[in-house]
Chain A
Amino acid sequence: MADHHRSIWPALPALAIIAVFLALPLALVSAIAFCQHGAYGEIEPSFTLDNLARLWSPGVMGGRADFPPILARSAVIAGVATLAAVALGLPLAFWIAAGGPLRRALGLGLVTVPFCTNLVVRTYGWVVLLSSKGPLAPIAHALGLIGPYEGLAPSLGAELIGTISSVLPFAVLPLYASVERLDRSLIDAANDLYASPPRVFRHAVLPQIMPGLWVATVLTFVPAVGLFLVSNMLGQNHMLIGELMQQQFGVARDWPYGAAIGLVLVLLSLLGLAVAARRMRALEGLP
C-alpha cells in the first residue's frame, strides 16, 4: 500500500533536531565516559575503562555513595511509583472519559494543572503537610501510625507518596488518549453476550488500550528514575542515581565518572523501551 502520499518527509525535520541536539551530545558524553579526568577536573582525551569499572567496584566511593545499591534503590522506587501511578491513572482515565464534555475538559485540565507548578513547590507542599507540626500529624498520631511530636516525613512512605504524586500526570495523559477513543461497540457486544465484567475488561477493553498502557509505563518510569529531588526532601538520608550524577557534574567535578553514570541510565532506559516498543508494534499489526 505504498503510495506517493504516504511519504516520510513530514517526519524528517523533527528527526533531524533530535539527531543533532540529543543523539550527537549523548555520543559526545559517551566518549567522555572513556576519558580520564585531570587533577583540576578537566577532561583528558586518553582512553580508560576506569570510570565504568568504578560502577561495579563497591567500596571505592565508600558507604553512602556505592553505585550498585544506589542504582537498585532508584529502580525500585521508580518501579513502585510507576505501578501505582498506572494503577491509579487507568481508572481515573476511565472516569474522565465516561463523563460529558464538561467533566472531560475539567478532568483533563485538573490532571494538567499540578504539572505547571514547579516540582520543588509541590514537594515542599508535602513537606509542610507531613511534618511534625503539619495538619496531618495529629490524625496519623490518633490512628497510632506515629508517636507524639513525630512527623510522617522523612520516611519511605512519604518518599513514595511524593514520587507518585509528581509522576501521576505522566501516566494519566497517554492513558486518557487511548481510553477516550475506545470502540464502545466491542464492549457492548461483550455485555450483550453476558460476559462477566472481568472478561469484558480482559477481552474487549485491554487489547484496545494496550499501546496506551505501554506508553504510560515508559513515560512514567523514565522521569521517575532520574528524579531525586523528592527523595531528597521527603526520604531518609540516602542517595539516588540522579543526585550522584549531578554531584559528579557539579561539586565533585568528575565529568568522566558522571558521564559513565549517565551512560548506565541511558542504556537502562533503552532496554525498557525496546521491550515496550516491540509490544506496541505487535499490537499495531506492524512487523
Chain B
Amino acid sequence: VTGAFRAIAALVAFGLLYLPLLAVAAYSFNAGKYGYEWKGFTLHWYGQLGDERIIAATWHSLALAACSTTVATPLGTMLAIGLKRAAWRPRSRALAEGLVNLPIVTPDITFAAALAAFFLVLRQALEAAGVRLDWLTGGLLPMGIGHVTFQVSYVALVVAARLAAIGPEQEEAARDLYASSWTFHRRVLLPQLMPAIAAGAIMAFILSLDDFMVAFLLNNGPGSLTLPVLIQSSTRNQGATILALSTLVFAGAVVLVGAFAMLARPSPAGDHR
C-alpha cells in the first residue's frame, strides 16, 4: 500500500513539474506565433536563435552560475561545519544562525532592492571620497556577489541537515582510534557529507541560473544581460522564439543535471545500503 501511494505521489509531482515544460517544448514547434492554438509543425523559431543577444545572454548566465557556485559551495560547506560542530557561546551562536538564515528568509525582491540600494549608496559615498568605481552599481561582478550571498546559506542548510543526523559517536570512535582531526574530517565526515555537498552545489547553481530579481536590478545593459532577464523582457513581443529558446535551455538543463546527478552519487564510504 505504501509503495503504491508513494508511486502515485511521485507521478503527480512529476506531472506538476513537467506538464508546463512539455507544453513549452511542444508549442515551440507551433506554426502560430503566439502559442495557445495549434496551427501546424514548424522549425522556423529555432532558426531565429543565432541572435547575438541570445548567445551573449547564455554565456553570461552560465559564467555567472559557474563562478558563484564555485565560490559558494566550499564556503557554504565550511559554514555548516563551523556552525554545527564548533563550541560557540550561546549568544554568538544565535547571532551566527540568524545571519545564516537571513538570506533564506529574505524574499528575493527585498534582497535585490536592498542590495541595489546599498551598492548605489556605497558608490556615491566613494565618489564623494574621490574613488570612482563604476562597476559597483551594475554588471556581472555585483550580481555574482549577490548570488554568492544567498548561495552560501542554501549550501550550508542542505549540508547541515545531513550533518545533524551524524551523531558524536563517530568522532569519539575516530578519536579512540587515534585519528587526527584532519583524518576524521577527510576520511569519515566528508565522504558522508558528499551527497549533501553535491546537492547543495546543484541547488546553488540552479538558484543562480534561475535568479531574476538580482540580475534584473543590477543589470547595466547588454554586457550583463542574463537569460532570465532576456526571456522576461521578451515574452510579450517575441512569442514563439522565446519558447524555442526556453526549450533549448530546458534541454541543456537536462544534460547538466544528469551529469551532476552522476557525480552526486554516494561514494561507497557514505553509502549505508
Q: B-contacting residues of A (Cβ < 8 Å)?
A: 1-2, 4-15, 17-19, 21-26, 28-29, 32, 88-89, 91-92, 94-96, 98, 101, 104-129, 131, 133-135, 161-162, 164-165, 168-169, 172-174, 176-178, 180-181, 184, 197, 208, 211-212, 215, 218-219, 222-223, 225-226, 242, 245-246, 249, 255, 258-259, 262, 265-266, 269-270, 272-273, 277, 280, 283-284, 287
Given A109-B258, A133-B36, A219-B157, the answer on whether A128 and B27 have CB atoms closer than 8 Å is yes
* Distance between Cα atoms of A26 and B156 in the complex (Å): 21
Check A19/B99 contact, CB under 8 A, given A5-B181, A13-B75, A14-B75: yes
Min CB gap A214→B, angstroms: 9
21 A–B contacts, CB within 8 A, in A order = A8-B83, A9-B82, A17-B148, A21-B149, A32-B117, A92-B9, A95-B9, A108-B264, A110-B17, A110-B18, A116-B250, A120-B235, A172-B13, A181-B162, A181-B165, A181-B272, A222-B104, A245-B109, A258-B113, A269-B105, A277-B101
CB pair A109 B261 closer than 8 Å: yes
Establish whether residues A124 and B235, one from each chain, have CB atoms under 8 Å apart when the complex forms: yes
Shortest Cβ distance from residue B113 to the other chain A in the assembled complex, whole angstroms: 5
Among B127-163, those with CB < 8 Å from A are: 145-146, 148-150, 152-154, 156-158, 161-162
Q: How far is the CA of A49 from the CA of B96 in the complex (A)?
A: 31
Is the CB–CB distance between B82 and A11 below 8 Å? Answer: yes
Interface centre among B19, B27, B37 (most CB of A within 10 A): B19
From known contacts A88-B9, A133-B37, infer whether A111 and B17 are also in contact, taking CB-CB under 8 Å.
Answer: yes
Query: Distance in Å from the Cβ of B75 to the closest Cβ of chain A?
Result: 4
Indicate with 1 or 0, residue by residue over B227-248, a CB within 8 angstroms of chain A CB atoms.
1100110010000001100100
**Is B31 engaged at the interface, CB distance under 8 Å to the other chain?**
no
In the docked arrangement, what's the CA distance between A219 and B207, Å? Answer: 12
Which residues of B pack against A, CB within 8 Å?
1-3, 5-7, 9-10, 12-14, 16-24, 27, 35-37, 75-76, 78-79, 81-83, 85-88, 90, 92, 96-97, 99-111, 113-115, 117-118, 121, 145-146, 148-150, 152-154, 156-158, 161-162, 164-165, 168, 181, 195-196, 199, 202-203, 206, 209-210, 212, 227-228, 231-232, 235, 242-243, 246, 249-250, 252-254, 256-258, 260-262, 264-265, 272
Q: Which of B90, B148, B158, B265 has the most CB of A within 10 A?
A: B158
A13 to B80, CA, bound (A): 12
With contact pairs A29-B113, A122-B21 given, residues A168 and B107 touching in the complex (Cβ less than 8 Å):
no
A24 touching B118, Cβ below 8 Å: yes
Q: Give bound CA distance, A277 to B105, whole Å.
A: 12
Q: CA separation between A79 and B76, bound complex, in Å?
A: 28
| CB atoms of A8 and B195 under 8 A apart | no
* Residues of A contacting B227 in the complex (Cβ-Cβ under 8 angstroms): 118
Q: Are B36 and A226 in contact (CB under 8 A)?
A: no
User: Given A6-B86, A269-B105, do A22 and B23 touch, yes or no (CB 8 Å)?
Assistant: no
